Amino acid sequence: MTDPYTSSCPIPLSGHDRVILAHGAGGRAMVRLIRDVFARAFDDPALRDAHDGAEVESAGRIALTTDAFTVKPLWFPGGDIGSLAVYGTVNDLAMCGARPRWLTAAFVLEEGLALDELGRLVDSMAAAARACGVRVVTGDTKVVERGHGDGLYVTTTGVGEVVAPRPVLPAAVRLGDAVIVSGPVGEHGVAVMLARTDLGLATPLQSDAASVVGPALALFEAGVDVHCLRDPTRGGLAAALSEIAETAAVCVRVEEASIPVRPEVADACELLGLDPLHVACEGRFVAFVPGADAERAMEAMRERGASPVRIGEVVEGPPGTVLVQGPFGGERVLDVPEGEALPRIC
């Protein structure tokens, strides 16, 4: 008899414990999957209405963001693709000076993915959404043939209500601005790479994947004149600083010794031939604020659980350049790699 789990025939089957093509075909199998996995986990009235979209209310300015997540493996120390999809999206909204309110989610499932594993990933995503105070109000599922999807891909769109009094953009960065990072960098990328490879390293290192909404919005609540915020995901701190410097046409100088890097991250990067400044974070952000507001900004961030460090400032110099001051006084230009040193980390 043909194994129903390896069949590519999209016929609804009962008693299955893995994703089959029928789960994406629009019939009863798909209805049961949405009802038993997604609607159960997210449990939102908008989802129960089974409509093609959701109506939400907002009295003021809104921010929108969209992101796709293809991290490999699906589970890694400190997180998984489900919680990462939430954190990555709400953090992007926070970088716009917005309070996240609603999410949409699209799931591309690979035939053969265990439904138990899918359920645990969706539960993790739902728990992260509740912790962040956001509602998952509508979504979609698609199924691709075995061998074409690495188990699961997730795409999310986030909507937030802007609380920043003025746009938070690189163009607002000014000479004399302090550059503050909210905590140690590089943990997410290294944790994912170690989970993906078999290097035999015994380390307690976990991903930093988490919401930064609290410490980011605390800046506005404290009355700090926030000029720009950025989360250093792909390309790490180096890419974030370089993009802002180039867009704002300013020169940023950072002190290498001030940039917080955990010893475990530094050791793993040395082994892997990586620069920690190029390694992605998923629970950190960089803030550009007037130098006079720096201490107040860091105090507000500490009160929300962050570990901020002032790592540099905007100075006179070649526009679009990031300079790294070494421990012995020499300077170098911070380069950004041509390609992605760590693929599939988000």
pLDDT tens digits along 278-331: 999 999 999 999 999 999 999 999 999 999 999 999 999 999 999 999 888 889
With CA atoms as reference, report the closest residue to 100 among 67, 73, 62: 62
Q: How confident is the model at residue 12 (pLDDT cuts 50, 70, 90)?
A: very low
> What's the CATH fold of domain 170-333?
Phosphoribosyl-aminoimidazole Synthetase; Chain A, domain 2 (3.90.650)
pLDDT score at 84: 98
Question: 323-328 long-range contacts, Cβ below 8 Å, gap at least 24?
Answer: 323/251, 323/252, 323/253, 323/254, 324/253, 324/254, 324/255, 324/256, 325/253, 325/254, 325/255, 325/256, 326/256, 327/256, 327/257
Q: Tell whether the model's pLDDT for residue 57 goes beyond 90.
A: no
Count other Cβ atoms within 10 Å, centred on residue 272: 17
**Please, what is the average pLDDT of the chain?**
90
Q: Tell whether the model's pLDDT for residue 8 goes beyond 50.
A: no
pLDDT score at 9: 43
CATH superfamily for domain 21-162:
PurM-like, N-terminal domain (3.30.1330.10)
Q: How confident is the model at residue 28 (pLDDT cuts 50, 70, 90)?
A: confident
With CA atoms as reference, report the closest residue to 345 among 197, 175, 220: 197
pLDDT score at 47: 74
Q: What are the residues facing 32 on neighbouring strands?
A: none
Digit-coded pLDDT (tens) for 93-113: 999 999 999 999 999 999 999
Angle at 241 between CA 311 and CA 304, to 5 degrees: 55
Q: Tell whether the model's pLDDT for residue 59 goes beyond 90.
A: no
Q: Which amino acid is at 252?
A: V
Q: If you average pLDDT over residues 53-82, what whole number do you get? A: 91
For 222, phi and psi rounded to 5 degrees? -85, 0
Q: How confident is the model at residue 262 (pLDDT cuts 50, 70, 90)?
A: very high
Q: If you average pLDDT over residues 154-171, what whole number do you get? A: 96
Domain with CATH 3.90.650.10 in the chain: 170-333
Q: Tell whether the model's pLDDT for residue 148 goes beyond 70.
A: yes
Q: Tell whether the model's pLDDT for residue 227 goes beyond 70.
A: yes
Q: Tell whether the model's pLDDT for residue 13 goes beyond 60.
A: no
Reported residue count of the chain is 346
- Higher-confidence residue of 343 and 259: namely 259
With contact defined as beta carbons under 8 Å apart, do 297 and 180 qualify?
Answer: yes
DSSP H or E stretch at residue 195: helix 187-196
pLDDT score at 54: 77
d(CA 73, CA 77): 10
DSSP H or E stretch at residue 127: helix 115-132
Q: What are the residues facing 289 on neighbouring strands?
A: 178
Domain with CATH 3.30.1330.10 in the chain: 21-162
d(CA 346, CA 342): 10
With contact defined as beta carbons under 8 Å apart, do 93 and 129 qualify?
Answer: no
